[in-house]
Structure 1
């Protein structure tokens, strides 16, 4: 149940539970996976309460759960909800609210370098529009303090409030709070923070966390002796952002040294930091780019949302992939990280298991970033590793290949065969019904190749134990997969040649016809952009292996769309070379149909709106997320009708 302090804070905030009771509220906090079962009203109320408790210093869930579980769930349902696009209010402190001298917005977040690159692309677009060389734009990187945000105009210290109106908390200076590094007042926005080393030495036994202490400094009630002493010792300070240690330079320097710069800035101060802030210093570009109601477009936070836990390994289970590699899977004591209950993690390969001592009884540090697959970050306590000598699927003796254990029995190994069959139908993506259960049943009746599956009749499916209706449906789906138009590169990718995923297949077939690729030399493949010599050698060997099966299936008459529409064959067209994204329900055809049609006119098609997108083509029932992204990135938005007019030109 809620603590008395949490109840008092909610009362001061004027928050009442209308859709959730206290018991359910606390149950959801302990089981974030239940977010999917909440009604919209319950989810919004939970987020509102969780935000108030966090900003009041008595959080009930982690940042990761808030951002990646509950906010993500709201984003799926209501992408335009104000909770996602406005500054989250700090309503826990009493007092009349007043207009802030400047708006204190939240900061947009990025969790990968690719997202930072997209942000820089928007900066470049703005610089180009203002006729400013992008290479001359100065970027500034500072630590992102995890304290209590406030604004100091020299006379009054304000809470951030809702970003536009805050509360007067000048009393903290009256209590003796200092500006960091002996600085003067009136330096604008900053955060109230406490020295990490001081907190650990003097305050950890009195406060649950640093944020709890920071909130206590601001509250109207009389300070506890520990807080008063921290202020006297100048361990608790107001740190203006303008005074933060920083790195400055151009984009080329920042992008080429990104990891080192982030690592250096992250550890520059002895305060809690939950990321770094990247921004530009050019006032004209900042004004041009402006802000949403939530954040400035010229600024972004880079965060490594990683949660870790020390977990005991219960067992290490070998699994055989379709390529024959044996993957060690660590079975773990069930542990919750970033809103998910985890009981397994990959150990990548058996050389890692051997060298790091990963076995039953080992203690590992498990890390999970956002919603990403968990990984073993460190082995804290080693144990005797268990290294298999035979394939868990077929019992064949295993051999070492660099870091990997390999089952070379690829023609008879059940796991390799069934995984390969599943892969073919999954990548083909124009059929239903051929999942793991169906494939396993076929394997048990001695069906071991894709071409054999295509020869089956409804009667034969029934004889294997499938129902009459299911049997006919499977036959119909096989017919559908041959007759429904698919790209030749998707067909090739379905054979599972190592290093030949969808992207590489599309690259290769943009230069050579499907029937020509089996005659290509390594030199021919290296001549295609994106293929190195080592990859070319692997690809040519893989093509030799699949050629017999390819010939059998190709003769079945799949309806393949050729990638071989050369520039000389293609008439000049307004869409040629343009990057399009489709969203909403289309009248002209399915979105897949329209994507294929656009490619036929020389356009490129993306799945998400980026700074490089030329057109966002919208149909009916369009969600706000892509529209907002297009507006933020100055992407041209056109209707389906306008698009149809363009392709007729």
Structure 2
């Protein structure tokens, strides 16, 4: 950056605003974050500190003055009755203590605090009219969200009608509740296994999976299936090829619809707040939760109302140490004043209530055994060492491999084959080996030696230019590893987005001699794919294309007509 100090501050502010807004777009709308919560929080905190130091930088549309992300244009907008706010964060005991001290100073005493687990899911807003569900919407920007009500019929966990118990409070005429939709970790792992089996990219974490499944247009797939059946009925019995194509389309659309509805059926809900209401005035948050539960709404059974800060910290520390006893992902604890009257007295800033705070946990760190260090040859020829580990659950997914980047990084981390190592997900997304547990070594560990020849084609490896830390295989034309990775890249979302062309499918094509370069992809026929067991199944004693094979052919046809820029 150049210029005066004021110009440099303005440039830094603009850079932070753009990065935070981009992260919000990818998180809230695309369900595909490229940075994790900890990195986002660091950017956001720097932006807050810069605006506090130089207030004239603040604008009405700064991320510090707004909530969440905008809605997706694929869905109809729905305006929330009461705005959904965000939460301020505490990143350690000291920051939580400062927040509690401020409350005590303002109120003269520290009121009772309600603690609940911060579910790492998709925030939703649900409105009930005389106990009947009227709308289900995503958070959006806090004022306007996306109407996903049509999907409710596939989600048993969200009651479509509230029921009052004889000895409980009556159902109000109007009730707006807030909650999180999520997948239990076990179901998330099952969904990712299914996606990998179909050659699709798995979700990075359970939150992305929940957001992706809830924000899909199941109704459009139902219309598409009806259209596919109608098209099949119109095919002349004499036109066998057309009939087979039409049957394949029906099978493909039906399978897609089944996967969508089955995944929706596994979504869970936990309610953690109320918005607008008519005929319902509880005195405390805990009373409200008891009433919601009596009407059939799912409320966490791990909520606690505590009277002092040490008890709150004990609660926070317990779940930091015992995250895996909870069936879903958590990324912290929300601490709220229980008394609604005190909440109302304290009010909110433009983006967050003063009476609540989210204590954010650091990324989870686990220990596992480093079984081996192998190398991968990428599509550009770059040779990258990676760790092969005993599978371990970390931040919602089972991890067994992690990149080590290059030979210098292996040395810097000080890891040996056979070590017990510390592992985390960098940014809650990318597995990262932090280093060895040195005290667990017994002398049997082995140092890694970087190969001098390509493990796939035998070509001598060399750096692209003098001094590079990375080494490459220069055999760009004939190295099978590079071709496999290029095929996989062609099918990725960043290229032609060919569903069904995953890493396993690319490997099968090469291993079975179906393709010799990327161009061969677009001349593949059903007869070609039949030669590979990866794309076939037996039906009535005959070898036919399986679902993946049929999908791949149809996706390749679509890709032929896609614009390249």
Q: TM-score, normalised by structure 1?
A: 0.41
Q: Highest Rg: 1 or 2? A: 1
Task: Give the structure, 1 or 2, with the largest relative contact order (CA under 8 Å, sep 6 or more).
Answer: 2
